[in-house]
Structure 1
């Protein structure tokens, strides 16, 4: 009788032990699953992209970002950089409504200035030789992405690329689609307002005058996107070159544009020069009172989503009175 009870006790003990082992295995499986989840989460916080310097792995949750001269693309994604591009006291004025409180960082990215901002992501243009430090220098400070030339020169690709880096691809698509809609609406409005009339843009700085070629900065918005006609003088200039040469006052007399946007800071000498020039006053735009002075040329001398939107707003305000 005792042996039978002892056997039952042993069987019950073995069953209990087996249950504990199975339970423990289940807990290990849960822990493993949890660890795997954590690993997946860590993997999702990084992205590997092709860059000018080859494949590079970047954090997708960066909060302190430096992208000198390309703050436009960051802001289009709802991201504020930690510092803003500057040449001395000059900044991109058209972005100041969002960046006015940020510290400036010099255009050639001095290493000490970069270190002082404690960035966790640095985004550079393809022309890295223009920076004070080398790619390796910046990599020691924070993960660094160097754009390819086609990305540097195309703000849409910038927004798409920055969207991938920061896991904001939907926001990138939304921003670009909204811009397309803005262009389409503006194009229709302007077609009804000015028809086939021609438009030109001139930047006056000091007593020099620079005429925008069809693909120079935001003039591309005028001609390629809004479908506005350019005068013959601008057609003859061809594509914009790296070196932007001024035109003489005599040459400007050949500008048979129906409308002219004159970009000149308040008090710029060039404004008075044109007002007092019989040669200039004989041009169609001047004779008909269709010269529009814009005191902030910064969005016109840049390429970006926000720059382009502001250029469209300038054009609509002037030409649809």
Structure 2
């Protein structure tokens, strides 16, 4: 009888021990799952400031920064919310916006819509007034992403850190530097002492940008072309008259025109081409004018813009050498 009682006691101990063991295993798995699926707080430095953010940012909202949208496209990141242009997402971003919620126009983000999305982080724009950034920051950590072309690396690195794609970012930057070195050698004589200008037609008018904005950082800073005085003096997007363009008379002209930006004057490009001043330019006479060398909606100062522009510009400029 004592043996039987001892046997029952041992069985009970084994059952209890087994149950306790299973309980510990379940708890450990739950903790692991939670730590994997829930973003952790981290500090990220960007352009001299430190931001506390949830990483990896799986619920990313891009408010007003088309620069960040280009970086997202390059890295294959799908934001849960993003700004629209004319009520829709530009076709340029159709591969990353199939499940993205519109949060208002790029100049007027809708705070209520963003709040409902429960973002891990909000990427705003340095074009926003401080009041807009402060309003968004009440919802979640908001980082104003630079629209200055020379900050393209910092912008790309920021998005890589937020989303866990640092390796991809390093590869993109390294590849651009390699391609740039080749381009410099290829275009060394073409760009030497030659002026070039990038014109953007918006609502029928011609605009130029400072040397470090739009595609200018690639054209001047990277490829070595000389910037006309009107570009050197520009502090922001600046209107350029056709008469003044005639006085500048650059060696090469890159002109960007999109129907979306010229709804009020869809014939602006044709009107320009039929103008006598335009026809008298040496670049026009020599066939040194490139129209929409890249998608006219590209922002110019991003990794996607720079890599695309560099490739297309080198191909086009190289063809001019053989003519």
Q: Determine which of 232, 238, 241 is the counterpart of 2:235.
A: 241
Q: For residues 41 and 189 of structure 1, what CA distance do their matches in structure 2 show? A: 53
Change (3 A) 1:273 1:135: closer
| 3-state DSSP of counterpart to 2:225 | coil
Q: Determine which of 283, 291, 294 is the counterpart of 1:293.
A: 291
Report the CA distance between 1:86 and its aligned residue.
2.2
Matched, 1:318 2:316: yes
Q: Matches of residues 20-99 of structure 1 in structure 2 within 5 Å?
A: 24=17, 35=27, 38-39=30-31, 42-43=34-35, 45-47=38-40, 48-50=42-44, 55-60=51-56, 62=58, 64-68=59-63, 69=65, 70-89=68-87, 92=90, 94-96=92-94, 98-99=96-97
Q: What CA RMSD, in Å, does the superposition of the two structures yield over aligned residues?
A: 4.0
Q: Determine which of 176, 187, 197 is the counterpart of 2:184.
A: 187
Change (3 A) 1:80 1:179: farther
Q: Determine which of 258, 271, 280 is the counterpart of 1:265.
A: 258
**Greater Cα shift, 216-225 or 181-190:** 181-190
Match in the other structure for 1:123: 122
Q: For residues 276 and 132 of structure 1, what CA distance do their matches in structure 2 show? A: 44
Match in the other structure for 1:211: 208
Match in the other structure for 2:113: 113
Structure 2 residue ranges without an equivalent (≥5): 260-265
Match in the other structure for 2:263: none
Q: For residues 224 and 91 of structure 2, what CA distance do their matches in structure 1 show? A: 26
Q: For residues 300 and 137 of structure 2, what CA distance do their matches in structure 1 show? A: 29
Matched, 1:177 2:165: no
Aligned pair count? 299
Change (3 A) 1:214 1:92: farther
Check conservation: 1:123, 1:147, Cα contact below 8 A: yes
Q: For residues 147 and 24 of structure 2, what CA distance do their matches in structure 1 show? A: 42
Check conservation: 1:204, 1:262, Cα contact below 8 A: yes
Q: For residues 174 and 156 of structure 2, what CA distance do their matches in structure 1 show? A: 12
Matched, 1:228 2:232: no
Which deviations, in whole Å up to 9, do the C-alpha atoms of 1:158-182 show, x marking residues without a partner? Answer: 3222222222222222232233333
Q: Determine which of 154, 162, 165 is the counterpart of 1:165.
A: 162
| 3-state DSSP of counterpart to 1:246 | strand
Output the TM-score relative to the length of structure 2. 0.72
Which deviations, in whole Å up to 9, do the C-alpha atoms of 1:203-244 show, x marking residues without a partner? Answer: 12344211233212121111222x231244356x24x424x2
- Structure showing greater radius of gyration is 1
Check conservation: 2:123, 2:145, Cα contact below 8 A: no
Check conservation: 2:198, 2:253, Cα contact below 8 A: yes
| 3-state DSSP of counterpart to 1:58 | strand
Report the CA distance between 1:202 and its aligned residue.
1.0
Change (3 A) 1:230 1:177: same
